[in-house]
Amino acid sequence: MNRMTRICLIVLSAFSAVVIAQTMNARIRKGDILEVRVLGHDVLSRNIMVQPDGTVNYPLIADVPIDGLYLEEFRDLLASQAMKFLGERPIITVAFSQSLAVRVTVLGMVQVPGEYLVPRSATIQGAVTQAGGFTPRAEIDHVRLIRGQEDQKETQIVNLRKFYETGDPSLLPELRDGDVISVPGLPGSNDIKVMGEVRSPGSYMAYVGANVLDVLYMAGGPTEKADLKKVRLISPSRQGKREEIIDLRNPAELGDTGLFPDVAPGDVLYVPVKPQFWKHFFTIAKDITSILLPIAMMIFYYRRYD
């Protein structure tokens, strides 16, 4: 090896060391894709993406936010967590992937609508999975993929049912940054039913962000017999609390209508009738009178003619 070759190798090694040092000193950000390699444990070697909440979908640290950490700190964290399960400290390398994430919005009949970061190679199926999957009333053969600027939007209909039946990957277009995925509901599932003591009971298509008060007045408002103290919001497809009792007697006193629960497709709003105390009282009184009056008349005539 001549002198010039040795000099080139030394310079190249020094440059590589500087690059590696700079990379390890870079902070992890939301949306980054990291390459994790665990020597001797292929099942733990994978590419992972930092989610909007700073966490990653990785078995050892699933709920730990890592955004803001240096790569070296993240590597040490992984090694310490892996040692608890493997019994020894493994050799781990981490690096920023050349892949990029894209930001997409998933709306409609999914469990958790919202904005998500997904790998650039992801498809609609992957984005829907990150949004918690479909709700039971989702119409998966007419999923809409909307992309482009406001003045040049394009809409593509994707038949996910056909993909599940055939497994043909060509049916799933790759996602681009800014894409919007809209999952419609089966006929009637986008409606909100308003029942009970309202002026126009029926099904209504509520706009995004509508709350129970908005829907109540879509149905013409309450009748005079409505018991607004115990209005029921029933949400069959919602996770967690599926029924809620709401007091709508004095909405103006609350001021902020945002205090009322939002409604979602498939919800049912039921307005009960007021307890009819006096009506029941007079009914009972009438029954008692019909029994006592003949007895009183008999006593009266008996005393008069006795």
In the prediction, which pLDDT does 10 show? Answer: 42
**142 occurs within a structural domain:** yes
**77 occurs within a structural domain:** yes
pLDDT-based confidence at residue 98 (cuts at 50, 70, 90): low
**287 occurs within a structural domain:** no
Are residue 171 and residue 224 in the same domain, yes or no?
no
**What six digits make up the tokens of 144?**
């809409």
Minimal CA–CA distance to 215: which of 203, 227, 228? 203
pLDDT-based confidence at residue 7 (cuts at 50, 70, 90): very low
Would the pLDDT of 9 be above 70? no
Beta bridge partner(s), residue 243: 234
Q: Which of 80, 96, 112 is the last residue of a domain?
A: 96
Are residue 74 and residue 37 in the same domain, yes or no?
yes
Q: Which residue segment(s) compose the domain that 143 sits in?
A: 101-183
**34 occurs within a structural domain:** yes
Stretch 248-256: mean pLDDT: 63
In the prediction, which pLDDT does 166 show? Answer: 92
Are residue 162 and residue 196 in the same domain, yes or no?
no
**278 occurs within a structural domain:** no
Would the pLDDT of 196 be above 80? yes
Q: Which of 154, 183, 212 is the last residue of a domain?
A: 183
The CATH number of whichever domain residue 232 belongs to comes to 3.10.560.10
Q: Which of 163, 183, 203 is the last residue of a domain?
A: 183
Q: Give the residue, 265 or 42, on which the prediction is more confident.
A: 42
pLDDT tens, position by position, 158-179? 999 999 999 998 899 888 888 9
pLDDT-based confidence at residue 296 (cuts at 50, 70, 90): low
pLDDT tens, position by position, 276-288? 655 555 566 666 7
Are residue 88 and residue 10 in the same domain, yes or no?
yes
Query: What is the SS3 assignment for 218-232?
Result: HCCCECCCECHHHEE
pTM above 0.85, yes or no: no
pLDDT-based confidence at residue 264 (cuts at 50, 70, 90): confident
Minimal CA–CA distance to 54: which of 62, 46, 43, 45? 62
Are residue 179 and residue 201 in the same domain, yes or no?
no
The highest-confidence range among 100-109, 226-235, 237-246, 259-268, by mean pLDDT, is 226-235
Are residue 176 and residue 197 in the same domain, yes or no?
no
The CATH number of whichever domain residue 28 belongs to comes to 3.30.1950.10
pLDDT-based confidence at residue 8 (cuts at 50, 70, 90): very low
In the prediction, which pLDDT does 21 show? Answer: 42
**262 occurs within a structural domain:** yes
Are residue 76 and residue 131 in the same domain, yes or no?
no
Tally of structural domains, the chain: 3
Sequence-ordered alpha helix ranges (H) in the chain: 3-24, 71-86, 124-130, 160-166, 212-218, 251-254, 277-305
pLDDT tens, position by position, 20-35? 443 445 788 887 888 9
In the prediction, which pLDDT does 226 show? Answer: 93
Would the pLDDT of 195 be above 50? yes
Are residue 90 and residue 110 in the same domain, yes or no?
no
**289 occurs within a structural domain:** no
Q: Count Cβ atoms within 10 A of the Cβ of residue 161 and give its class: 0-12 exposed, 13-18 middle, 19 or more buried.
A: middle
Are residue 155 and residue 206 in the same domain, yes or no?
no
In the prediction, which pLDDT does 17 show? Answer: 40
